[in-house]
Amino acid sequence: MKIKLLPALFIILTFTLYGQETVRIASYNVKQYPASNNVPNDLKVVINQIKPTILMTTELDGSTAVTQFLNNVLSPKYKASTEVNITWGYGNECAVFYIDSLLTYLGSNMIPADTRPIAEFKFVHKFTNDTLIVFGVHFKAYPEETARRLNAVNSLRNRTLQLKAAANYIVAGDFNIFTSAEPAFQKLLDQSSGGYFFDMLNVSGNWNKNPQLSQYCTWSTRGGVNTRFDMILISKAVNEKGHVDYIPGSFKIFGNDNKHFYSDVNNGTNDWFPTDPSIGTSLKNASDHLPVYADFVFGVPTSVAAADNIPASFELKQNYPNPFNPETIISYKLPAALHVTLIIYDILGHEVSTLVNEFQPAGTYNSTFSAQNSLLSTGVYFYQLRAGNFTRTGKMALIK
């Protein structure tokens, strides 16, 4: 690569400015899709209202359901996971759909569990480089299946225990848990070992047919909203500040206005769609579950202290020492989270070394350039910082 070095050694280029990015994650039990001819259109209406970046689905009826859902329900901006072991009842019933322009899908892992495997989907954000793992679950239903649900949660916790403490992960799906006192739910939140989760709603009590907790219910759109089954739980790292953060208060149960306990979700008026009641009808027709979603910020500074010490402006300092042999330090400041490159060029504009090429949070950085093991000769070199639409070039001298 060559650059044109202007007399003032100053080059202005235009780059896209990347900062913190918001990602909406939704979880939706789609009722053994495809169940009937009217389901795709109704699902499309619902999902177009939510506009998720990542959509985790359960109860896909067969491997071809993924392709059908992608083609018949979602817009072309989405792609789908490629797992083939998707079978209603006993296989993995979970699949993820995601906006390809924002996220890179890194693949999946299937965790054996009682009765259905737990899906593990891994993503990295294309602009912030933050990684998120999404676990998809559909635990065994009915109150008498508490032992199987606990077995499945133990399998999940065995996996999350292997992850680093700073790992960003969530678990989403249809938990079929009836009360916060159930051993399976308590195990999900148990902090006596690593790999635990937080309930963003922090709801204690009996979730089944309890009018006092009706605002948290996700089932059923058709027989009356009266039970909490569908959830998104977050890891310790997501619950704390840094890289991927849950936006407090953003968790929503689409269609639950707390006025339809033991009533169809489209019965009368619904505060979620006061100007278009047909959305409620689509929600009822599409599935017997209400979708849930939450918003997350990617690209968050790793500590409150780092956020408090964010520089007020860009700065590229003179390297030190200068002249140098064999090493020198190049310091710079970023007032915002950006994709940054720091590249060394020789006097002819040939690229010598790339010191930085990554997304970095706002802050102050030091980068070391070493000529010790290189064939570089004594002479003048240039270092160029590019961050968003900011570009600066500095001059340094190597003396051997």
Are 230 and 217 contacting, i.e. CB atoms less than 8 angstroms apart? no
Cα separation of 245 and 280, whole Å? 31
Residue 89, exposed/middle/buried by CB under 10 A (0-12, 13-18, 19+)? Answer: exposed
* pLDDT score of 304: 47
In whole angstroms, what is the distance from residue 328 CA to residue 339 CA?
A: 23
Sheet with 390-398, strands from edge to edge, namely: 351-360, 338-346, 379-387, 390-398
Give CA separation, 237 vs 108, 145, 286, 391, in Å: 21, 31, 34, 34
Strands 131-138 and 169-174: parallel
Round to the nearest angstrom and report the end-to-end CA distance of the chain. Answer: 25
Residue 111 confidence (pLDDT): 93
pLDDT at 14: 24
DSSP 160: H
For the chain, list the domains and their CATH numbers: 21-300 (3.60.10.10), 310-398 (2.60.40.1930)
Q: Which residues contact 114 (CB under 8 A, 6 or more apart)?
A: 140, 148, 151, 152, 155
DSSP string of 202-252, one letter each residue: ---SB-SS-GGGGGG--B-TTT-B-B--EEEEEEHHHHSSSEEEE-TT--E
CA 58 vs CA 81, 88, 118, 133, 347: distances in Å: 13, 9, 11, 17, 59
Residues 76 and 51 sit within 8 Å (Cβ to Cβ):
no
Q: For residue 370, which of 393, 400, 339, 350 has the smallest C-alpha distance?
A: 400
Q: Specify whether the CB–CB gap between 370 and 330 falls below 8 A.
A: no
List the one residue out of 327, 326, 312, 339 whose CA is nearest residue 366: 327
Q: Is 9 left (phi over 0), alpha (psi -120 to 50) or beta?
A: left
Angle between helices 278-286 and 39-50 (to 10 degrees): 120
pLDDT at residue 10, rounded to an integer: 27
Write phi, then psi, for 274 (nearest 5 degrees). -70, -30
Of 241, 363, 237, the residue nearest 302 (C-alpha)? 241
Cis peptide before 115 (omega within 30 of 0): yes
Q: What is the pLDDT of residues 282-341, one digit of tens each?
A: 999 999 999 999 999 998 776 544 455 678 899 999 999 999 999 999 999 988 878 889
With a cut of 70, which residues of the chain have pLDDT below it? 1-19, 83-91, 302-309
pTM: 0.73
The CA distance from 110 to 92, in Å, is: 8
Cα–Cα distance for residue pair 372/143, rounded to 1 Å = 68
Q: Angle at which helices 39-50 and 64-72 pack, to 10 degrees?
A: 70
